[in-house]
Amino acid sequence: MFKNKKTSAALSAPYTAWMTIFIIVPLLMIFYYGLTDSQGSLTLANITAIGYGVYFKSLLLALWLSFLCTLICFILAYPLALILARVSKNAGQGLIITIFILPMWMNFLLRTYAWLTLLEGNGIINGILSFLHLPTQHMINTPTAIVFGMVYNFLPFMVLPLYNAISRIDTAVFEAARDLGAGRRQTLFRITLPLSVNGIISGVTMVFIPALTTFAISTLLGGSKVLLIGNVIESTFTQVYDWHLGSGLSIVLMIFIIINMIISNISDARQEAEG
């Protein structure tokens, strides 16, 4: 891009510095703390701790809830992405996307607090229910409330990659499918879905990983009654001051993220090979 390598190096220097200071150094520190004990000698105990009672339990719960969240997001987002890709630009496509992105202009914690007032015992939803003489529901401080909060917060991260992938499919492909006698259902399952696999994978990654590691949503909407692995890691830093254990557990979570990245890389590579 630049004629001179020197120029390009100079221009990338701020980025390199940023990466080094805020990404590479902290990562190295996590690995250092995660693989040593308080005496500074090498150990795997902080990582194998994940198999121990509380940690294992909270990891399983976090995996389960973030799986549910990802599934719900996908089910909600896919039809929406299909609609978005089909409506023409002047028929309000921009408006729909804006509406979806709009809440993201607000702070994430603020949005989660909003859910708190919605789901509370004397909250807005129960207020409407009791106004209609319907039995009020106990929603706040349950795993369900946490999944609600996760889906709400992470849904845009599913919609946008899906929409991107689907809108990139050449409409001629759909026309060909119809010409060759494929029904709507067949088109969806044999054409649209396989061709949007990349979008699905990046959507799943972008929802699953933040859902797996969240601790703010579970603290607020779970009333600290539901312990996820993110909460456990947070408390090892803030409550127990055991950075070694906290880093070790973070490394375990990184493994899930890396698995996810490998899958998406493989699918990228495959698509490139095909495309």
Partner 1 sequence: MKKKMSRFSALLMCAACFAFMLSGCGGSGGAQGGAGELRVFNWGEYIDPEVIAEFQEETGIRVVYEEFETNEVMYAKLAQDPSAYDVLCPSDYMISKLIEQDMLQELDASRLTVAHEEIGDSYWKESEGFDPGNKYSVPYCWGTVGILYNKTMVSEPVTSWSVLWDEQYAGSILMQDSVRDAMMIPLVMNGVSMNTLDEAELEKATQMLIEQKPLVQAYVVDQVRDKMIGNEAAIGVIYSGEAIYTQRENPDLVYVIPEEGSNVWIDSWVITNGAKNVDNAYAWIEYMSRPEVALKNFDYITYSTPNEGARALIEDEAIRNSEIAFPDLSRYKLETYVYLGEEGDALYNDYWMRIKSE
Residues lying near partner 1 in the complex (CB under 8 A) are found at 5-6, 9-10, 12-14, 16-17, 20-21, 53-54, 57-58, 120-122, 138, 140-141, 223-225, 227, 231-232, 235, 237-242
The number of residues making up the chain comes to 275
Tell the smallest beta-carbon distance from residue 119 to partner 1 (Å). Answer: 11
- The strand ranges marked E within the chain are none
Pick between residue 20 and residue 265 the one whose CB is nearest to partner 1.
Answer: 20
Distance between CA 225 and CA 236 in Å, rounded?
Answer: 17
Tell the smallest beta-carbon distance from residue 144 to partner 1 (Å). Answer: 15
Q: Which helix (H) or strand (E) holds 257?
A: helix 243-274
Tell the smallest beta-carbon distance from residue 197 to partner 1 (Å). Answer: 36
Pick between residue 37 and residue 100 the one whose CB is nearest to partner 1.
Answer: 37
Tell the smallest beta-carbon distance from residue 52 to partner 1 (Å). Answer: 10
Pick between residue 14 and residue 135 the one whose CB is nearest to partner 1.
Answer: 14
Distance between CA 236 and CA 249 in Å, rounded?
Answer: 9
Among positive and negative, which fits the CA dihedral 218, 220, 224, 225?
Answer: negative
Give residue 182's identity as a one-letter amino acid code: A
Pick between residue 108 and residue 237 the one whose CB is nearest to partner 1.
Answer: 237
Give the three-class secondary structure for 42.
strand
Pick between residue 118 and residue 162 the one whose CB is nearest to partner 1.
Answer: 118
Q: Which helix (H) or strand (E) holds 225?
A: none
Q: Which tokens is 237 given?
A: 């830093």
Tell the smallest beta-carbon distance from residue 34 to partner 1 (Å). Answer: 17
Pick between residue 75 and residue 240 the one whose CB is nearest to partner 1.
Answer: 240
Tell the smallest beta-carbon distance from residue 124 to partner 1 (Å). Answer: 13
Buried b vs exposed e over 60-97: b needs ≥16 C-beta within 10 Å?
Answer: ebbbebbebbbebbbeebbebbbebbeeeeeeebeebe
Distance between CA 141 and CA 220 in Å, rounded?
Answer: 8
Tell the smallest beta-carbon distance from residue 49 to partner 1 (Å). Answer: 11
End-to-end CA distance of the chain: 25
Q: What is the DSSP string of 98-125?
A: HHHHGGGGS-HHHHHHHHHHHHSTTSHH
Pick between residue 199 and residue 222 the one whose CB is nearest to partner 1.
Answer: 222
Tell the smallest beta-carbon distance from residue 138 to partner 1 (Å). Answer: 7
- Count helices and strands in the chain by DSSP H and E runs: 15, 0
Decide if 61 contacts 144 (C-beta within 8 A).
Answer: no
Pick between residue 57 and residue 86 the one whose CB is nearest to partner 1.
Answer: 57
